[in-house]
Structure formats: structure tokens, C-alpha cells
């Protein structure tokens, strides 16, 4: 197990050495290691909870807000869920060696495109200690060594979780160094990790815009950003209003401090008179602060006095809190334009009974995940059947949306001939 007493370079080099063996490791051994990790999490739950309690205490003392504290918190139920997710990854098909496509060329050569591990994957993340296990599990199953770098706010939790994962995996036959933790340093440590050219093959940051900017400033290793989520729910003219109310309350309230929570509600002008008063009442009953445009306020009736005016900045803000911006639009195209102007390309939803509106929204909105008559809260590797995820990418190259096993692979071409030479 890599610890803070070793340099970043040492940890990354150990991961590179492990990656060479891990890439060829058989599926049964990898699955056995994942089950060993899940078992160890359950057995050592009290140890994990105790370490997390120290982080929670420090977080409160340092003024972490409620959303960050919620991300940070671990209890036996959440630990059991992490273990279940690890077993779910073990149950998934091994992507390594999967034939993406194959064909015989006119000259008789057989060409196959195979999925293969990247090698060494670094995951940089903030607040969420569950990412320690999710990332380790996904990287192990996809044949990658992983270098983990969590935030200082979760340092005690991350050390315990990474130690448990590394010890359990090693005991099941995974090479030493395959799961490494970089911990204890500041931004200079992040910069050193992000410049491990030829050693680290890919970095996934999972955090806010500050982390993204810090990496962009220094990274020479390729980066896929699991970025912020300024997500919208649009209620169309022909929406089922019972469904619409349930969806927006779920998308905003079920867990407001996560990247797939809704931050803006848009309502078609034809649906607004009937829908907005009930939606406002339901959201306020759930403790949501509403920041609204003039047309929403005009339809709010007796509730108008409890509403704040939305600013231009509100439409572009990922609140990560029980705060929601609300506006009225004249048509689906106006909703699409608003989402594309202010959204972050994460998850966007339309509630409608009109197939044409649904198709216009699907094709017109530029985002990784589009929902028709469903909550944005489903954007998650576990919900998508991936077992877990490293994050949700809003980029368009290689991986987009939840990053699971197949997204942790690149590919190689294998070409077989029978003494072929090129004329």
C-alpha cells in the first residue's frame, strides 16, 4: 500500500510496474479480489466509521457546508452500499479483450479491434470517500493500476479505505502497487501527479470547477474531466403534471448536493398556470428556496411573496443545495436554447406527452444524458448497470456520461495473416 511517506513518483512507478502484470490478469482473480475488498469493507466497518467521524469533525470545524458534509459522510448503510457496488462490478463482464469489431480485408488479413487497459489511471477527487473504493474496483476489473488522490477533507477515511482495498486485493493475487494512495500534500502534490508523463496514462478529476482549473493549469498527462452538473427539468405543454411534479421534486430534493440534481425548472407557458402553483408549494414544503423570473412570480398567487428574484448568475449556477431557479418559456425550442446557453452538458430532462417535443429536445440539447419523462438523478454508473462509476464526463472525446469499465479501456488492433507482405 502506497502512503504519504513515499513520493508521488515512487507511487506512480510502482503502479506502472503493477499495471504490466495486471493487464494480463485473468478474470477470476480480479473478481476474487473485488469480493475480498467487499468482504473486508463489511468486516472493518467500525474502523471506517471511526476514521470518517474524524473527517466529519474536522469538516464541521472548518466550516464545510451541508452539501459537502453529506458527500463526506459514511455510515454502516453507505459502507454496505459501497460493498454491494464492488460486488456488482465483479459480476459485470470483463471488458479486457472484448472484440469491438472484426473483419477480413480483401487481401485476406484478419483485423480485430480489442479493448485493452490504459495502464495507470489516476483519480483525483474531492470530499467523497466512496470514490476511493469505486475507482479502485473499476480500475482493477478493467486491468488498470490506480493512483488515488483524495482531498484533505476526507484524508482519514481515504487512508483506511485505500489500505483495506490494497490489502484485500493483494491477498487475492493482485500485484503489489496496483492500488496506490497519494495523500498529505497540497497543490504541489497535484501538480506532480499531473505531470507524470510516460508513467500515468490518464487522469480523471472528480470535483468542482476549482479542481478542474487547477489541473488545466498544470496537467501534461491526458485528462478526462468529470465536471459539474447544472441540470434542468423542462415541463412541456403536454406534460402529465403529476409526473412533472414528482420528477422535479425528486430531481431537486432527493439529494441536492450531487452533480445530477436539478438546478433549474423551466415550464412551458401553456402548462405554467396549472403547474407552477402546485410545484412551488411542493418544492417549498420540501425546504427548497426558489429564485424565479417575473412570469413565474405572476402565476405564484399567494406564494409570490416567498419567492426570490432570479438573477442572470442563478441560471448558470450549480447550487448543490436546496435552491432552484424557475422560469417560464414559450416553446420547446426556447427551452432547448436556455439549456444549451446555461447548462454544463451533464443531464437534462423533458417531461412531455408529445413525441415531437421529446425528439426535438433529444436532438437539440447538447448534454451527455437526456431524459424523457424521468428524473436527472438516474445519471449514475450504478443506476446504468455499470456497478459503479469514476464520475460523469461532460466531454465529447472517448468517454461521455458515466465512466465505467468500458470507458476505462482503450483499444488495440490485432492483425493476423498467413505470410502476408505488402506489395
* 104 HSE (CA, 13 A, CB side): 5
Q: How far apart are CA 36 and CA 87, in angstroms?
A: 9
| Model pLDDT, residue 43 | 98
Does the CA dihedral 114-117-119-123 come out positive or negative?
positive
User: What pTM does this model have?
Assistant: 0.84
For residue 348, the surrounding DSSP H or E stretch is: strand 347-351
The average pLDDT across 89-104 equals: 96
137 Cα distance to chain centroid: 14
- Could you tell me the three cell numbers for 317? 449556477
| Nearest alpha carbon to residue 282 among 247, 319, 317 | 247
199 Cα distance to chain centroid: 24
Q: Give the least confident one: 166-170, 219-223, 280-284, 360-364.
A: 219-223
| Nearest alpha carbon to residue 40 among 51, 32, 30, 52 | 32
| Model pLDDT, residue 227 | 66
Which residues fall within 8 angstroms of residue 54, CB to CB, at 6 or more apart?
Answer: 156
For residue 54, is pLDDT > 50?
Answer: yes
For residue 294, is pLDDT > 50?
Answer: yes
Q: How far apart are CA 146 and CA 134, in angstroms?
A: 11
Q: Which residues pair with 349 in a beta bridge?
A: 233, 371
Torsion angle of the four alpha carbons 202, 203, 206, 210, in this order, in degrees rounded to the nearest 10: -140
**All domains of the chain in start order, with CATH:** 8-226+390-416 (3.40.605.10), 231-378 (3.40.309.10)
For residue 392, is pLDDT > 90?
Answer: no
Q: How many CB atoms lie within 10 A of CB 38?
A: 24
Dump pLDDT digits (tens) for 203-260: 998 877 788 888 889 999 999 887 689 999 999 999 999 999 999 999 999 999 889 9
- Could you tell me the three cell numbers for 124? 483525483
| Model pLDDT, residue 5 | 62
Dump pLDDT digits (tens) for 114-151: 999 999 999 998 888 999 999 999 999 999 999 999 98
The average pLDDT across 63-77 equals: 90
45 Cα distance to chain centroid: 24
3-class DSSP assignment, residue 50: helix
Q: Does residue 166 or residue 184 have the better pLDDT? A: 166
Amino acid at each position: 500500500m502506497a502512503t504519504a511517506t513515499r513520493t508521488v513518483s515512487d507511487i506512480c512507478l510502482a503502479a506502472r510496474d503493477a499495471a504490466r502484470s495486471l493487464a494480463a490478469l485473468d478474470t477470476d482473480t480480479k473478481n476474487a479480489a473485488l469480493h475480498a475488498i467487499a468482504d473486508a469493507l463489511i468486516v472493518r466497518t467500525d474502523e471506517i466509521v471511526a476514521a470518517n467521524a474524524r473527517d466529519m469533525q474536522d469538516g464541521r470545524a472548518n466550516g464545510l457546508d451541508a452539501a459537502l458534509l453529506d458527500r463526506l459522510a459514511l455510515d454502516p448503510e453507505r459502507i454496505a452500499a459501497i460493498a454491494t457496488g464492488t460486488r456488482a462490478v465483479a459480476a459485470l463482464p470483463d471488458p479486457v479483450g472484448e472484440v469491438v469489431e472484426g473483419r477480413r480485408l480483401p487481401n485476406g488479413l484478419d483485423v480485430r479491434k480489442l479493448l485493452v487497459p490504459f495502464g495507470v489511471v489516476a483519480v483525483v477527487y474531492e470530499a467523497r470517500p466512496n470514490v476511493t473504493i469505486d475507482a479502485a474496483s473499476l480500475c482493477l476489473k478493467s486491468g488498470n493500476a490506480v493512483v488515488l488522490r483524495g482531498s484533505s477533507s476526507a484524508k482519514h477515511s481515504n487512508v483506511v479505505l485505500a489500505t483495506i482495498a490494497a490489502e484485500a486485493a493483494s491477498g487475492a493475487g493482485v500485484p503489489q502497487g496496483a492500488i496506490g494512495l497519494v495523500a498529505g500534500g497540497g497543490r504541489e502534490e497535484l501538480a506532480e501527479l499531473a505531470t507524470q508523463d510516460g508513467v500515468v496514462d490518464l487522469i480523471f478529476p472528480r470535483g468542482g470547477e476549482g479542481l478542474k482549473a487547477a489541473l488545466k493549469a498544470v496537467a501534461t498527462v491526458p485528462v478526462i474531466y468529470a465536471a459539474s452538473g447544472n441540470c434542468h427539468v423542462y415541463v412541456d405543454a403536454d406534460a402529465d403534471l403529476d409526473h412533472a411534479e414528482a420528477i422535479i421534486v425528486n430531481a431537486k430534493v432527493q439529494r441536492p448536493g450531487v452533480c445530477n440534481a436539478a438546478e433549474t425548472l423551466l415550464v412551458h407557458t401553456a402548462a405554467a398556470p396549472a403547474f407552477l402553483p402546485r410545484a412551488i408549494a411542493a418544492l417549498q414544503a420540501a425546504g427548497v428556496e426558489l429564485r424565479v423570473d417575473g412570469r413565474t412570480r405572476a402565476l405564484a398567487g399567494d406564494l409570490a411573496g416567498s419567492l426570490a428574484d432570479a438573477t442572470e448568475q442563478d441560471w448558470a449556477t450549480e447550487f448543490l443545495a436546496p435552491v432552484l431557479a424557475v422560469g417560464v418559456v414559450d416553446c420547446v425550442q426556447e427551452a432547448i436554447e436556455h439549456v444549451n446557453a446555461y447548462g454544463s452538458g451533464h443531464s437534462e430532462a423533458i417531461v412531455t406527452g408529445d413525441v415531437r417535443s421529446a425528439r426535438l429536445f433529444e436532438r437539440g440539447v447538447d448534454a451527455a444524458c437526456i431524459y424523457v419523462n424521468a428524473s436527472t438523478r438516474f445519471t449514475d454508473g450504478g443506476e446504468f448497470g455499470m456497478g459503479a462509476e469514476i464520475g460523469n464526463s461532460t466531454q465529447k472525446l472517448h468517454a461521455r456520461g458515466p465512466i465505467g469499465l468500458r470507458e476505462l479501456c482503450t483499444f488495440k488492433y490485432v492483425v493476423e495473416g498467413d505470410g502476408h507482405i505488402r506489395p
